[in-house]
Structure 1
Amino acid sequence: MSTILVTGASGQFGRLVLDALLASGKVAPADIVAASRDTGKLAAYAEKGVTLRTADFDDTATLDAAFQGIDKALIISTDALAVPGQRLTQHRNAVTAAKRAGVGRLFYTSLPNAETSAVTFAPDHLGTEEAIKASGLAYTILRNSWYMENLFLSLPSALQSGTWYTSASDGRTSYVARADLAAATVAALLADETGNVTLTLTGPVGYTNAEVAALVSEVTGKPLAVVNLTDEQLAEGLAGAGLPGFLIPTLVSFDANTRLGHIEIVTDSVETLTGRPSTSLKAFLEANKAALAG
């Protein structure tokens, strides 16, 4: 039986992975190691028999201990975005610790087209992928497309005003439900893979923002018009809305990345791994109608 480590286990994605691992029945709870800076947030999983370990990506000593005796390790990318370079340093710390501990296989949550992506933090992902490959450890890189849940960042306020301001133009996004990504990740963790693998995990269809708006209107019964702006105009609007200055370039880069076609790729990797159809965007919107209303 393999020992599986999940870093960032107390986050939304980490918890979904833990839940899916436990539900699979294919790994004993004690062989699941949930790591977090604050293991107190994982007490409910300890009650289910999951092993807890402290892992602070800024503290290499905790990483060395966390990766010890691990067969398969899932490194979920951290949320350290405010300080340039910090996240890549954190990830490299984790890869180095995994190498020192002799981990059998590394898994990492990246993003589509890491080499060309216009997203401001894409270099963190590409740099992490490169560090993993340079480590000599066997690896599975999971390039996760845009969460359907990310629509909650913009759609509730857009629905209230009836206008969705964007610079994505006619670019398409292959939205995928977070739970589907977690299920696919667990399937990959439980597979008996031997070679090195890079997979792009997406939803079943790529949508323009106009098509998303039409679905949202259909589901909610509220009108939603899409207004296309330049990146500069979008940045000005976000600043006027009071968003923190450091965050604005990243938010604008999301739309620019879509417009440039870097997140339109559609694959069947989720369905192949999980053995079931992916959640459709319309079904997701219908299930989350109340959240969309804000």
Structure 2
Amino acid sequence: MPTKKIFDYQNDEPIDLFVLIKTADVRVAKNGKQFIAFTFQDQSGQISGKYWDASDADVTKFTAGQVIHLQGKRELYQSNPQVKIYKLRETTADEPQSVEQFVPKAPVQVEEMQEEISQVLFEIKNPNWQRLVRHLLQKHQPEFFSYPAAKTNHHAFAGGLAYHTLSMLRLAKTIAAQYPQINDSLLFAGVLLHDLGKTLELSGPISTEYTVRGNLIGHIVLVDEEIVRACDTLKIDTNSEDMLLLRHVVLAHHGLLEYGSPVRPQVLEADVLHQIDELDASITMMTQSLKHAEPGHYTERMFAMDGRQFYRPEHDEALEE
């Protein structure tokens, strides 16, 4: 039985392994024949591949969320790795079928994240902010600690949403300690809520897709709606300055209108939250890509980082851990 994972294979090396179909998009080629654009996944990462001349039976047989056996060859296309598919087949009863073993997970246990986040809640001194955050975290707790932070790009693994939030909280605490003029309660509350709408925007940790409301509305507006509903439940005035500040910090966290925020940051804590979000996402994306690069070589081109490639030094002990 194959034991190697996706990123154990080198370019031009034959691939023979079990993988999870993360996505399976049916498309039509220039010759008019349909093909399936796959994204395959295991705990080492994901790789794309096209299954040409796919029959209707193939489309029905090979769907997202299914473990299959893949044979092919790893190759490069426009500096990015992909698999040239030779053969796909369904798994048999005595072969791997558990989806969970192919889904990457956060490097910190859920219980540890829950405990650390719970401690930060006590540091939110504004009583309305603390009540609101507690209410919403409790309402969305199962999804918050199991969902990824994105379909692709940063923290796209089970538990990634909570782990991204926790990483940002750690950065926020350090920055607030350095700059006492920052309202740490507002910053912490904003960090905890900023991506909570992704529990509504995304479908879950396995074969993650955008929900209809995720596509049509987006997580920033969805979480603001949740804040307003929670204020109504908790009898908190949504037009009070405290609530307007908190809502603004959350609404502005993408920084620019073209990146999805309905407003740009107009208070100190909103801009700090945006910068922390960008920093944590960028470091996570670069780290994941660098781990897949050979020492002394460059990463694949990263679309989310303006198509840039990053160099992995020949002696990089941190990435080897």
Q: Same fold by TM-score, threshold 0.5 exceeded?
A: no
Query: Quick check: which has more Rg, 1 or 2?
Result: 2
Which structure has the higher relative contact order (CA within 8 Å, separation 6+)?
Answer: 1
- TM-score, normalized by length of structure 2? 0.29
- TM-score, normalized by length of structure 1? 0.31
